[in-house]
Amino acid sequence: MKIKSYIYSAIAIIVFLSAKPVITRADAVTDWNEITVNATLVPPGRPGPSNLLDIATVQLAVYDAVQAIERDYKPYCSDIPGASGSPEAAAAQAAHDVLINRFPAQTAALGATLANYFAIHNISVLDAGIPVGATAAACINNLRANDGSFPAGYPAFLGGTEIGVWRPTSPGTSMTAPWLAYVTPLTIKSPSQFRPGPPPDLQSPEYTRAYNEVKSIGAIDSATRTPEQTDMANFWNLNYQAVWNRVARNLSAANVDNISDSSRLFALMNSSMADSVITAWDSKRAYVFWRPITAIRNGDADGNAKTEVDATWSSFIPTPPYPDYTSGANNVSASASRALQLFFGTNEMTVSITTTNTGPTIQDTRVFGKFTDIRDEVVEARIYEGIHFRFADELARRQGEHVAQWAYAHNFQSIEQEMDR
């Protein structure tokens, strides 16, 4: 990995995540990552966190396009013999071609974006990198053509009314993107590869502790949640896809001095996040465990004398329309932060993050000294928000870390490393 040298004990690497961040350096990978994230958010958008699949698919094509020319790391899908030209042209073309394949309604707008990008960066339409990017994108598009990420007529999933089973908080509202549990992963072997055991029994001490914790501290009118905890809850009620990609863009801009490593960073992090959300949805569909709001309103029916009912209890933020176990936000954040930790080879980086949920927050920007500090905080925040039991957060964190570690160990390896084996 060709990373700029720096001394962590002397230099704090600050990542400014804001509406208009200060970028010290950008390349075609980071430019088109931002274009990609924005394209996936165009109304009506994709349901729930499913646009993580789209972002990851783009980044894999960009990675292959760049590596076809740079040849530092082993390709993911396509090995393109004799590839030449500008890696910037290849990256831009690859991103464009995957995006219009997944979002055909944006074909004209993205075509104009690509033409403008080439003009601004003095890239000739005859650049040899352009067909390289097109070839890389075609391989990824074909590979993911039947991956289940665009199911037609998928049936609604409403859970059940049994004790311990998830049900919609708005009756008749389907679980968001129930098909995510069955999408073909990008790096791991199967959606269930890191599926944990079942959630705690409703009569167990662990469940009792988690129930009473979230009932107290996660209530909309909690008397035990401190102002600082309330602010943390508001802070992490954000767009995780946009946040983590902005973090990666700023880390890359500050610390990566070549497009080859940049392409690897975004492929690793985004494929990890996509596989983590598949992993979370697999667990949700496997166990269909109820959310705190349903559990607490039915606390007199769970067979546990230590879980007192509150028929009017509500969570601090609105409860999302899918089961509790395991937490998608913790899965995704753990995989993203672990992927970055592995890429940079250290846990100790100072990262400053500004929430996308500015308004209700008092502290819009939070500073972390370690990637693990971020993971710790997301676990707590989802409890303060009242939408998860602690065990759903902690197991999701572990799942996300495992997914990133698997992706790092089995994909995007250096060609030199492959030759040495």
pLDDT recorded at residue 418: 54
pLDDT recorded at residue 12: 31
pLDDT recorded at residue 22: 38
Per-residue pLDDT of the chain (421 residues; tens, 9 = 90+): 654 333 233 223 233 333 333 334 679 999 999 999 999 999 999 999 999 999 999 999 999 999 999 999 999 999 999 999 999 999 999 999 999 999 999 999 999 999 999 999 999 999 999 999 999 999 999 999 999 999 999 999 999 999 999 999 999 999 999 999 999 999 999 999 999 999 999 999 999 999 999 999 999 999 999 999 999 999 999 999 999 999 999 999 999 999 999 999 999 999 999 999 999 999 999 999 999 999 999 999 999 999 999 999 999 999 999 999 999 999 999 999 999 999 999 999 989 888 999 999 999 999 999 999 999 999 999 999 999 999 999 999 999 999 999 999 999 999 986 555 4
Residue 17 forms beta bridges with which residues?
353
pLDDT recorded at residue 166: 98
CA separation for the pair 157, 167 (Å, rounded) = 9
CA separation for the pair 406, 272 (Å, rounded) = 9
pLDDT recorded at residue 417: 62
CA separation for the pair 413, 209 (Å, rounded) = 43
Answer for the pair 392, 326: CB distance below 8 angstroms, yes or no.
yes
Q: What is the CATH number of domain 16-420?
A: 1.10.606.20
pLDDT recorded at residue 25: 66
pLDDT recorded at residue 13: 29
CA separation for the pair 150, 99 (Å, rounded) = 14
* pTM of structure: 0.93
CA dihedral sign of residues 390, 396, 400, 403: positive
CA separation for the pair 138, 134 (Å, rounded) = 6
Q: Indicate the domain borders of the chain.
A: 16-420
